[in-house]
Amino acid sequence: MQKHQWQGIFPALLTPFDDADRLDLAMFKKNLLAQMQAGISGVIVAGSLGEASTLSNEEKFELVSTAKKVLKGLPVVLCIAEQSTAQAITIAQQAPLHGADGLMVLPPMRYKADDEETVAYFKAIAQATSLPIMIYNNPVDYKIEVTLPMFEELAELGNVVAIKESTRDVSNVTRLINRFGDRFQIFCGVDTLIMEEVMLGAHGVVGGLVDAFPNETVAIFNLVKAGRIQEALEIYRWYLPLLELDIHPKLVQNIKLAAQAMGIGNEAVRVPRLPLVGRERAAVMAIIEEAIKTQPKLPAYLNLP
């Protein structure tokens, strides 16, 4: 995958399960087709939203190979979120055998590595593969921040090409551009900030609610890039209550419920997660149902100049 392909909307895909707790590949394909028709540019497989911590390596690779067949040329990026460097390297080396075009790499799980350890971890993975790599920077959820000096070191590695920017500080997009120019492709990783960060120069979005509302997500991105800010803003204001479902400990359950309501997912999750019930489920459904009822008519947003 060439650097120029790391742009646009990359859904962090959900992992659907059937009643027997197996991968529901039919629903996975249905969602992928909806994403592709909406105009996405690539996908992230087996990330946090994809319940990676509950998937076996075999299941992750099956999702990659399935996505690769459906998407017909769009990049399929496999998430690596492991506890040990050795485990991460094993997945990185096996990923291309199953069709992965790239990797999104999180810092070490469980252990709060310091700056030197974190850089060494990323370097070891990058040096073990020729696949392009997106570094996931999310200190809010994972308690490890990849700082500008750390990215300075990682910039020495040619296959570290992108950053999923999830610090929730929109000015970090400008800091990265000021320091590195176009060295990295910057992706907004927080749903509630997609419009702001794209306006500030982010090249793409790794999104969550796109799994349920792909057309609206791609429309916002394309309209902003085309300078049609007011049209994008109208969609974004409608979208924000839904996007806030992503910044919640139960984002998986929330977004799966939204995808189910839109007919392109189901709400089955893997333990220790449990489906939403009672007042909690009703509150989320109220947000989803209101959004569906007031869903905006989108302008023609594909192939904008």
Q: Any idea which of 2-16, 230-244, 260-274 has the lowest mean pLDDT?
A: 2-16
The three-class DSSP label of residue 211 is: helix
Task: Kindly report, residue by residue over 65-98, the tens digit of the pLDDT.
Answer: 999 999 989 999 999 999 999 999 999 999 999 9
**CA 76 to each of CA 116, 167, 175: distance values in angstroms, whole numbers, following the listed order:** 29, 24, 28
Instruction: Read off the CATH number of the domain in which 69 is found.
Output: 3.20.20.70
Domain range for 115 is 3-293
Main-chain dihedrals φ then ψ at residue 142, nearest 5 degrees:
-110, 0
* Residue 107: per-residue pLDDT: 95
* Residue 72: per-residue pLDDT: 86
225 belongs to the catalytic site: no
User: At residue 147, does pLDDT exceed 50?
Assistant: yes
- Residue 264 resides in a domain: yes
Confidence at 4, pLDDT banded by 50, 70, 90: very low
Give me the catalytic one of 121, 136, 239, 301. Answer: 136
8 A C-beta contact, residue 80 and residue 105:
yes
- Residue 302 resides in a domain: no
Query: pTM, whole model, 2 decimals?
Result: 0.96
Angle at 207 between CA 196 and CA 299, to 5 degrees: 65
Average pLDDT, the chain: 96
Q: What average pLDDT score do residues 251-269 get?
A: 98
Give me the catalytic one of 164, 236, 256, 301. Answer: 164
* Residue 293: per-residue pLDDT: 98
- Residue 158 resides in a domain: yes
User: At residue 111, does pLDDT exceed 90?
Assistant: no
Main-chain dihedrals φ then ψ at residue 63, nearest 5 degrees:
-65, -40
User: At residue 1, does pLDDT exceed 70?
Assistant: no
239 belongs to the catalytic site: no
- Residue 298 resides in a domain: no
Beta bridge partners of 218: none
Q: What average pLDDT score do residues 233-244 get?
A: 98
User: At residue 267, does pLDDT exceed 80?
Assistant: yes
Q: What average pLDDT score do residues 178-196 get?
A: 98
- Residue 281 resides in a domain: yes
- Residue 186 resides in a domain: yes
Q: How many distinct structural domains can be found in the chain?
A: 1
- Residue 200 resides in a domain: yes
